């Protein structure tokens, strides 16, 4: 499995399996298939309400001897209700308890609202305590990323943001590297456009698909790898899971990558400055769907 090195020296598998909008029953059914096919990187979150199921699948796979904990890279995310310093340490412990794991490989602040500046210290303490290997952010625009840098002893290892050929995040990447003085990897959410078929039909993508014999989705994932974006496409289809892993063998030419980078830019989702209601509602994560 291809990996990238994060700015804290830890490796992250370039390709993983995302479980956003999967019920616990779907995780129980589909995550074992992903592990069986060779996925070793899982992306979940407190707010996905499926961490208990993710932990059960992982612990079953370890108990069966199919994988070791060290083979796996597990990411989860805290929502703003958990950021206040006094709460953050407790909610990291509760997260590990739900997952049934001693540590996670990567823990992110999921949304750029609330007391993220105060909470960052608790994230750093969790690293020191061995509960978390790497820490990072999600959906942070550059100004709020800078607020974290201003207090950080540990620079965020990643920023997980919307990224795909129609929103390539070149500007944010350059801004983060300039501000942090080191590379900050982009992890791409909506890497395939969240099921938007018109993205797959972009002429630069279908042209590369014709030349390589890969599918348009595979071309997009190969572009992500060439752009050094970490991706974890979501799929319930075993065939798509296998197709997405096989992308590690698809190589695009510099001209194909340049053509994809000419696609007009437009995000699906604009991150508002002020918190939308869904980020401030206090949720009970013990209730797993």
Ligand X SMILES: NC(=O)c1ccc[n+]([C@@H]2O[C@H](COP(=O)([O-])OP(=O)(O)OC[C@H]3O[C@@H](n4cnc5c(N)ncnc54)[C@H](OP(=O)(O)O)[C@@H]3O)[C@@H](O)[C@H]2O)c1
Q: Which residues bind ligand X (CB under 6 A)?
A: 18-20, 43, 110, 138-139, 160, 189-195, 215, 217, 232-237, 240, 243-244
Is residue 110 annotated as involved in ligand binding?
A: yes
The smaller minimum CB distance to ligand X, of residues 42 and 92, is found at 42
The least distance separating ligand X from the CB of residue 212, rounded to whole angstroms, comes to 14
The smaller minimum CB distance to ligand X, of residues 9 and 38, is found at 38
- The secondary structure of 57-100, three-state, reads HHHHHHHCCCCCHHHCEEEEEECHHHCCHHHHHHHHHHHHHHHC
The least distance separating ligand X from the CB of residue 21, rounded to whole angstroms, comes to 7
Are 61 and 32 in contact by the 8 Å Cβ rule? The answer is yes
Residue at token pair 């995780």: 27
Question: For 262, which DSSP code?
Answer: T
Please give the angle made by the CA atoms of 268, 109 and 220, to the nearest 5 degrees.
Answer: 40
User: Buried b / exposed e across 137-162, counting CB within 10 Å, b at 16+?
Assistant: bbbbeeebbeebbeebebbbbbbbbb
C-alpha Rg value of the chain to the nearest Å: 18
The smaller minimum CB distance to ligand X, of residues 122 and 217, is found at 217
The least distance separating ligand X from the CB of residue 205, rounded to whole angstroms, comes to 12
Q: C-alpha 230: how far from its chain's center?
A: 7
The least distance separating ligand X from the CB of residue 106, rounded to whole angstroms, comes to 12
The least distance separating ligand X from the CB of residue 184, rounded to whole angstroms, comes to 15
Are 45 and 77 in contact by the 8 Å Cβ rule? The answer is yes
Q: Parallel, antiparallel, or unpaired for β 185-189 and 158-162?
A: parallel
Q: How many CA atoms lie within 13 A of 80 on its CB side?
A: 16
- Cα distances from 153 to residues 69, 105, 202, 242, in angstroms, run 27, 18, 42, 39
- The one catalytic residue among 48, 83, 113, 190: 48
Backbone torsions φ then ψ of 4, nearest 5 degrees: -115, 155
The smaller minimum CB distance to ligand X, of residues 11 and 237, is found at 237
The smaller minimum CB distance to ligand X, of residues 7 and 75, is found at 75
How far is the C-alpha of 264 from the C-alpha of 165, rounded, in Å?
9
The least distance separating ligand X from the CB of residue 65, rounded to whole angstroms, comes to 27
48 is catalytic: yes
The smaller minimum CB distance to ligand X, of residues 113 and 189, is found at 189
Catalytic residues: 48
Binding residues for substrate, as ranges, are 110
């Amino acid at each position: 499995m291809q990996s990238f090195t994060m700015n804290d020296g830890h490796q992250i598998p370039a390709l993983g399996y995302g479980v956003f909008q999967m019920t616990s029953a779907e995780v129980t059914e589909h995550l074992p298939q992903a592990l069986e096919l060779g996925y070793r990187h899982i992306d979940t979150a407190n707010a996905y309400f499926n961490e208990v199921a993710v932990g059960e699948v992982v612990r079953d796979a370890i108990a069966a001897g199919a994988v070791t904990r060290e083979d796996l890279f597990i990411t989860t995310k805290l929502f703003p209700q958990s950021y206040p310093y006094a709460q953050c340490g407790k909610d990291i412990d509760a997260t590990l308890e739900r997952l049934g794991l001693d540590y996670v490989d990567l823990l992110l602040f999921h949304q750029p609202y609330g007391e993220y500046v105060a909470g960052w210290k608790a994230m750093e303490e969790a690293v020191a305590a061995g509960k978390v290997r790497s820490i990072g952010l999600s959906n942070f625009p550059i100004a709020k990323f800078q607020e974290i840098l201003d207090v950080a002893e540990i620079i965020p290892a990643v920023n997980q943001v919307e990224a795909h050929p129609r929103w390539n995040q070149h500007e944010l990447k350059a801004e983060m590297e300039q501000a942090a003085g080191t590379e900050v990897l982009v992890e791409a959410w909506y890497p395939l456009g969240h099921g938007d078929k018109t993205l797959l039909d972009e002429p630069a993508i279908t042209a590369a698909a014709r030349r390589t014999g890969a599918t348009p989705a595979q071309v997009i994932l190969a572009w992500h790898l060439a752009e050094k974006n970490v991706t974890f496409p979501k799929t319930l289809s075993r065939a798509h899971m296998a197709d997405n892993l096989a992308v590690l063998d698809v190589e695009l030419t510099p001209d194909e990558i340049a053509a994809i980078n000419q696609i007009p830019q437009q995000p699906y989702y604009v991150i508002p400055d002020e918190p939308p209601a869904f980020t401030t509602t206090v949720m009970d994560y013990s209730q797993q769907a």
